[in-house]
Amino acid sequence: MNNTDLVFQSYGRCCRKDEFFVDFYDFFMSSSDTIRNRFLKTDMEAQRHLLRNGIMQLILHARGMSDRKLKALGESHNRNHYDIKPEWYTLWLEALLKTVRQHDPDYTPELGKAWRDVLNPGIDLIRGAY
């Protein structure tokens, strides 16, 4: 199996429980008050569903799908819209990896590395639109 298959299946295991997304935002918001403050007025229930799809888009991008949806995320997150600073994506990825480690019963350090390698190009695309 290649990395995108491994990550696709790992994400399937993570998505079995909604707590995956609850825990992700707990970890991510604990990264800093600046991050937490960005979500003060956000409907987190809706946001968790949007993120479920957003992570899928990152994985599909690595599997060769069109850039259209990630470009739209790059636009909504850029300096003219949510104004998400490029350096915050590192915190985002670390929070995600921590959540995967906790939720995927088949987690290994190699799988963690596969997650990073698979997601990074899509994250670069969104961050690069800043």
CB of 129 to ligand HEM, least distance (A): 11
- The total number of residues written for the chain in this structure: 130
Nearer residue to ligand HEM within complex by CB, 27 or 89: 89
Q: Which residues bind ligand HEM (CB under 6 A)?
A: 35, 38-39, 41-42, 47, 50-51, 54, 58, 73, 76-77, 82, 84, 88-89, 92, 123, 126
Nearer residue to ligand HEM within complex by CB, 83 or 110: 83
With the CA atoms of 31, 33, 36 and 41 taken in that order, what torsion angle do they form, in degrees rounded to the nearest 10? -170
Provide the CA 120 distance to its chain's centre, in angstroms: 10
Question: Could you give the maximum distance between any two Cα atoms of the chain, in Å?
Answer: 42
Nearer residue to ligand HEM within complex by CB, 12 or 108: 12
Sorted by sequence, the CB contacts under 8 Å of residue 9 that are 6+ apart come out as 1
3-state secondary structure 55-75: HHHHHHHHCCCCCHHHHHHHH
CB of 49 to ligand HEM, least distance (A): 9
CB of 17 to ligand HEM, least distance (A): 19
Nearer residue to ligand HEM within complex by CB, 1 or 87: 87
CB of 45 to ligand HEM, least distance (A): 12
